[in-house]
């Protein structure tokens, strides 16, 4: 593992007007490293006055930023890309420290975020609109216009990647962006603020307000914030969506997930076992793309045996980081305890693992694989958000499909098979926004957009790709007719 050392970074201020800025609030939130179970920093539990101030600042720069040509705005993204590459180690370290990921895993997440930055550099060609003559002497021009001051609210599990889903497209399209990062993992968002300044972003185009519920509600209610993007649990996503849209603002709120991998006996043994393991255990299962249910069709025993063999070689702290908090640790182990009580076969038990040396107080939970799980049990129904894979055995594809379709969420689904016909059937019938065929984590690469269905998303469209560009812009259509004269240039010459 890249070595993580304990250090207290002290109080981290908000980021307003291009520099660190004290909150009006004296309330503080403790940021605890899951590697050490110790405070590594504090952030302000900011109040509405802080938010109002940030909004006023953003409003003051909006006329300039929104009218700047898109090539100059995109230039900031070219610079940001290089800065992210240059500072990859620094940013990955901060992500690992407050989130509990391994440094390697953190780097992978930065690369994914950087893809959106790269996509944003292409906006000068994507935002060039359309223009044509629609009738004799009449032209119609369509352009993508920024909305105004907009905001993003992000979760703990990808402290840099999820903000990077939003920031590049929101600001390159000409908006001013206010970020409320997760109070559990705020360090990397502030670092991104520094990088944006270094990239040449004018002060006030991007602000970070630390805090919790009050700031989220303030963002939903503020009449000068015109659009809200949210990523987090479904319960809060739904609330943020309805509260924001009730005031007429645009909202896109991505929620939780319960993703299924359908495994057919004809699937390739090695790559399927690896795919199941990577999908369910990557980021210690704390990602919305984690497939936490494997639905076996008929006899998939050889694949499960291979999975268990590979999983037994997984090393805590090397292949997998920690759980985010003590509370989350207990919530996850409760799912395992319950499944055990109900009669699940525990093929691998991650409870009571020996922690890696030097991190004895960390929130470590090992790979857990539960077999012969009943589709009605809580571990098969609810989002666990931990390194727990439940295996459900079925007799037919129809039964497997019914289980996938029956779940309320719809972020992703995957199928492992060598049959094109089966793959086609599953991808056509799965009720999810992102489908993997022999890929356990089917995150679309840019410019294909990221977003789920059903209870995994409230709002229309997706957060990245062209769909993200549409979310952060208004379409303007100008229809023009100019007085005609026979030879207009003659009056000048
Ligand atoms: P969370 O919902 O607890 O928090 C997300 C944000 O909402 C944070 O900024 C937090 O401060 C704020 N918040 C929390 N409680 C609130 C309340 N009562 N009122 C107003 N705001 C509140 O989510 P989390 O635990 O940080 O992240 C994990 C969740 O995020 C999982 O459910 C996961 O599936 C989901 N997630 C989804 C995606 C996706 O693309 N669909 C991506 C990443 C994470």
Residues of the chain with pLDDT under 50: none
Residues lining ligand 1, judged by CB closer than 6 Å? Answer: 153-158, 162, 180, 182-183, 212-213, 216, 231-233, 236, 254-257, 288, 383, 385, 411, 452, 456
Q: How far is CA 293 from CA 137, 312, 369, in A?
A: 61, 19, 10
Atom 16, ligand 1: residue with shortest CA distance: 213
Which of 155, 288, 327, when mutated, tests ligand 1's pocket best, judged by the most ligand atoms within 8 Å of its CB? 155
What pLDDT does residue 74 have? Answer: 98
Atom 38, ligand 1: residue with shortest CA distance: 288
Atom 21, ligand 1: residue with shortest CA distance: 213
Which of 220, 236, 244, when mutated, tests ligand 1's pocket best, judged by the most ligand atoms within 8 Å of its CB? 236
Atom 30, ligand 1: residue with shortest CA distance: 232
What pLDDT does residue 482 have? Answer: 84
Burial 23-37 (b: 16+ CB within 10 A, else e): bebeeebebbbbbbe
What pLDDT does residue 483 have? Answer: 80
288 among known catalytic residues: yes
What pLDDT does residue 376 have? Answer: 97
379 vs 374: CA distance, rounded Å: 9
Q: Which two tokens stand for residue 135?
A: 């009738």
Q: Which residue has the tokens 């799965």?
A: 430
Q: Ligand 1 centroid to 144 CA: how many Å?
A: 30
Q: Ligand 1 centroid to 423 CA: how many Å?
A: 32
Best CA proximity match to 452, nearest among 435, 470, 434: 434
Sign of the four-CA dihedral 59, 197, 182, 10: negative
Q: Ligand 1 centroid to 458 CA: how many Å?
A: 13
**8 A C-beta contact, residue 365 and residue 335:** no
Q: What is the pTM of this model?
A: 0.97
Q: Ligand 1 centroid to 211 CA: how many Å?
A: 13
For the stretch 326-361, pLDDT in tens is: 999 999 999 999 999 999 999 999 998 999 999 999
What pLDDT does residue 352 have? Answer: 87
Task: Give the percent of the chain with pLDDT over 90.
Answer: 96
Q: Ligand 1 centroid to 154 CA: how many Å?
A: 7
Other beta carbons less than 10 A from residue 346's beta carbon: 14
What pLDDT does residue 492 have? Answer: 65
Please provide residue 240's backbone torsions phi and psi, each rounded to the nearest 5 degrees: -65, -40
Q: How far is CA 475 from CA 58, 67, 256, 297, 411, in A?
A: 22, 15, 30, 47, 28
Please provide residue 68's backbone torsions phi and psi, each rounded to the nearest 5 degrees: -65, 145
For the stretch 259-273, pLDDT in tens is: 999 999 999 999 999
């Amino acid at each position: 593992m890249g070595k993580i050392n304990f250090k207290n970074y002290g109080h981290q201020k908000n980021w307003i007007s291009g520099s660190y800025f004290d909150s009006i609030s004296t309330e503080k939130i403790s940021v605890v490293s899951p590697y050490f179970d110790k405070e590594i920093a504090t952030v302000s539990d900011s109040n509405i006055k802080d938010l109002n101030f940030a909004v006023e600042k953003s409003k003051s720069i909006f006329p300039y930023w929104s009218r700047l040509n898109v090539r100059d705005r995109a230039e900031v993204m070219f610079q940001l890309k290089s800065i992210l590459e240059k500072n990859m180690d620094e940013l990955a370290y901060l992500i690992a420290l407050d989130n509990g990921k391994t440094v390697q895993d953190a780097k992978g997440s930065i690369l994914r975020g950087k893809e959106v930055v790269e996509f944003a550099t292409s906006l000068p060609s994507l935002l060039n609109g359309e223009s044509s003559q629609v009738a004799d002497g009449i032209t119609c021009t369509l352009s993508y216009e920024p909305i105004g001051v907009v905001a993003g609210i992000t979760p703990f599990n990808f402290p840099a990647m999820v903000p990077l889903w939003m920031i590049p497209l929101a600001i390159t399209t000409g908006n001013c962006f206010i970020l409320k990062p997760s109070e559990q993992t705020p360090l990397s968002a502030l670092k991104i603020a520094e990088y944006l300044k270094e990239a040449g972003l004018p002060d006030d185009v991007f602000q970070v307000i630390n805090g919790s519920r009050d700031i989220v509600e303030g963002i939903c209610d503020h009449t000068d914030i015109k659009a809200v993007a949210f990523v987090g649990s479904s319960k809060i996503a739904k609330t943020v969506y309805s509260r924001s849209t009730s005031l007429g603002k645009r909202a896109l709120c991505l929620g939780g997930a319960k993703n299924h991998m359908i495994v057919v006996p004809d699937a390739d043994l090695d790559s399927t076992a690896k795919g199941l393991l990577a999908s369910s255990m990557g980021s210690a299962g704390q990602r919305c793309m984690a497939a936490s249910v494997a639905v076996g069709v008929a006899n998939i025993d050889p694949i499960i045996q291979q999975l268990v063999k590979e999983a037994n070689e997984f090393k805590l702290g090397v292949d997998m980081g920690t759980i985010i908090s003590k509370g989350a640790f207990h919530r996850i182990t409760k799912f395992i305890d319950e499944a055990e009580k109900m009669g699940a076969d525990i093929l691998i038990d991650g409870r009571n693992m020996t922690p890696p040396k030097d991190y004895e107080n960390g929130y470590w939970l090992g790979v857990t694989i539960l077999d012969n799980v009943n589709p009605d049990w809580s571990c098969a129904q609810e989002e666990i958000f931990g390194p727990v894979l439940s295996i459900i055995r079925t007799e037919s594809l129809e039964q497997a499909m019914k289980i996938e379709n029956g779940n309320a969420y719809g972020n992703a689904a995957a199928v492992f098979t060598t049959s094109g016909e089966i793959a086609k059937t599953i991808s056509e019938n799965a009720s999810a926004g992102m489908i993997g065929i022999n890929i356990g984590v089917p995150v679309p690469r840019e410019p294909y957009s990221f977003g789920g269905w059903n209870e995994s998303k409230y709002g229309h469209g997706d957060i990245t790709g062209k769909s993200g560009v549409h979310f952060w812009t208004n379409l303007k259509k100008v229809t023009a007719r100019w007085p005609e004269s026979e030879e207009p240039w003659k009056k000048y010459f």
